[in-house]
Amino acid sequence: NLKDIATPSRTKEILQKHGFSLKKSLGQNFIVEPNILASIVKAAGLDEHTNVIEVGPGIGALTEYVARSSKQVVAFEIDDRLIPVLEDTLSPYDNIRVVHQDVLKANLKEVLAETIDLEEPLMVVANLPYYITTPIIMHFLESELRIDGLVIMMQKEVADRITAAPGSKAYGSLSIAIQYYMEAEIAFIVPKTVFVPQPNVDSAILKLTRRDKPVVEVKDEKFFFELIRASFVQRRKTIWNNLLIRYGKTDEIKAELTAGLEKAGIDPKRRGESLSIAEFGKLADSLRIELL
């Protein structure tokens, strides 16, 4: 029966009580619409067995919604001014731990293990600071944590790029880097009016679900990702031209690229944006890395 933090009046009251002014440089756009929070929690499919990591609790609007329908929340907040505020607003809950750290610098596994059993279901639910959306997602995906899924608010344009399919304008190395690990879909679009202050960009809730196994099995993951990045350096150029720029234009390199592309069944005149993740995988495995 607690009053929601996320109503416009309660948010205003909390900010005033603590003399808090929002910092644009930290991506502080707070949600003041409880219905959106309910939809986010629903999209995450939380239950009393699931632990949740949150990034940027702000004054705790989403945090309390998540806490009400999960086992334990661990929330990373960088802004020291918010720590006493959160102590106040989240005091009714006994299953929330606020960690005063930059999430990008945090040793996630170590910090999480202090509070939760890492074998239990684990989700990330957050309204992300938009200036570091991609680094945060990659930090989670590349961590050693077994995260079952992420339900995260971000700029709609970034969500479009992450979920893009081959051949579309938004498809690129970011789509592949994330879809390699996770199934990606846009859960819903969020109007600007639910935030204080309102951001200049449109927002969306992205839902990422861990795959049982990667879309492709590759011999050398590092080379696979390097090849993808190289293929998109100049979007308008063919894969052939981009790879020559990256690996050099000698006759040896040309011969190796020709052979590799042919073995993978890829026309050198195609552009990177037309290749599926599986095709990039095939190409990576068809090239003799030691020659490049």
Residue 36 binds ligand SAM (CB under 6 A): no
Q: Closest approach of Cβ 31 to ligand SAM, in Å? A: 4
Could you tell me the smallest distance in angstroms from the CB atom of residue 185 to ligand SAM?
21
Whether residue 77 is annotated as binding a ligand: the answer is yes
Residue 1 marked as a ligand binder? no
- Spatial separation of the C-alpha atoms in residues 139 and 161, rounded to whole Å: 18
Pairing state of beta strands 30-31 and 195-196?
antiparallel
58 counts as binding ligand SAM under rule CB under 6 A: yes
Residue in 147, 134, 273, 278 with CA at minimum distance from that of residue 210: 147
Q: At what angle do helices 221-231 and 239-247 cross, to 10 degrees?
A: 120
Q: Which is nearer to ligand SAM, 78 or 206 (CB)?
A: 78
Does the footprint of ligand SAM cover residue 78 (CB under 6 A)?
A: yes
Q: How many CB atoms lie within 10 A of CB 161?
A: 19
Cα–Cα dist 254/143, whole Å: 37
Please work out the total of residues on this chain that contact ligand SAM, with binding judged by CB under 6 A: 22
Task: Spell out, one character per residue from 104 to 143, where the chain touches ligand SAM: x when CB under 6 A holds, - when not.
Answer: x----------------------x-x--x-----------
Contact 196, 11 (CB under 8 A): yes
In whole angstroms, give the CA distance from residue 146 to residue 210: 9
Among 14, 73, 103, 177, binds ligand SAM (CB under 6 A): 103
Segment interacting with ligand SAM, rule: CB under 6 A, options 51-59, 203-211, 235-243, 259-267? 51-59
Residue 27 binding ligand SAM, by CB under 6 A? yes
β-sheet bridge partners, residue 124: 53, 150
Binding window for ligand SAM (CB under 6 A); candidates: 101-109, 143-151, 244-252, 257-265: 101-109
* Distances 137 to 147, 178, 255 between C-alpha atoms, Å: 11, 8, 38
The binding site for ligand SAM (CB under 6 A) comprises 26-31, 55-58, 61-62, 76-79, 102-104, 127, 129, 132
Please report, in range form, the residues annotated as the binding site for S-adenosyl-L-methionine. 29, 31, 56, 77, 102, 127
